[in-house]
């Protein structure tokens, strides 16, 4: 069995796309996954699967959510090794005086084009910072996420890829939970 972390984009946000965590666990069980855990209400599911075909797993989950709840939800899957890499390689937290409470990770559905990354480099919202590493964006927001310009919608719009964002504490907890089974 392989352990995965599913990051669902945009559920239970401002009353939109509501899914109870008990219903989400049942949905994952119906697909055939095992050892299912959810973490907070924002769409984080840790599970075991017999297959390690990430693309196919994501499609299965998205299709089942559409069937059960009649709305589309993008699912980005990571394995334990990918989360561990992300946690160990955050260049913005390696800076002196950086505070983990201000750190976020934006997970991209695919690697953005070089052209869109270059266009993004022209934008500066100092003191907000970001660093792109393949399908991961490390974001540092010293004024908090609520008023941030470098938010999930910004990155989706500029990079032309779907994304979902989690705070640093959540990413750490998801890694911890993924190692427990």
Domain's final residue, options 31, 49, 79: 79
* 88 plus 60 within the same structural domain: no
Hey, how many other C-beta atoms are within 10 angstroms of the C-beta on 49?
21
**Mean pLDDT score, 74-82:** 95
The model carries a pTM of: 0.94
* 25 plus 50 within the same structural domain: yes
Report pLDDT for 68. Answer: 92
**Mean pLDDT score, 170-176:** 96
* 163 plus 125 within the same structural domain: yes
Give the residue numbers spanning the domain of 41: 2-79
pLDDT band at residue 13 under the 50/70/90 scheme: low
């Amino acid at each position: 069995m392989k352990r995965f972390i599913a990051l669902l984009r945009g559920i239970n946000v401002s009353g939109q796309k509501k899914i109870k965590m008990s219903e989400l666990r049942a949905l994952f069980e119906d697909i055939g996954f095992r050892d299912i855990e959810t973490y907070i209400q924002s769409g984080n599911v840790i599970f075991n699967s017999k297959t390690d075909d990430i693309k196919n797993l994501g499609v299965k989950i998205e299709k089942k959510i559409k069937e059960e709840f009649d709305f589309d939800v993008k699912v980005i899957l990571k394995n334990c090794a990918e989360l561990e890499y992300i946690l160990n390689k955050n260049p913005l937290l390696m800076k002196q005086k950086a505070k983990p409470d201000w750190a976020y990770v934006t997970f991209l559905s695919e690697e953005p084009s070089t052209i869109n990354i270059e266009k993004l480099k022209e934008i500066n919202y100092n003191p907000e910072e970001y660093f792109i590493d393949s399908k991961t964006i490390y974001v540092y927001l010293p004024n908090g996420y609520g008023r941030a310009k470098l938010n999930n919608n910004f990155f989706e719009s500029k990079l032309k890829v779907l994304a979902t964002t989690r705070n640093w504490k959540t990413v750490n907890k998801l890694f911890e939970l993924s190692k427990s089974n």
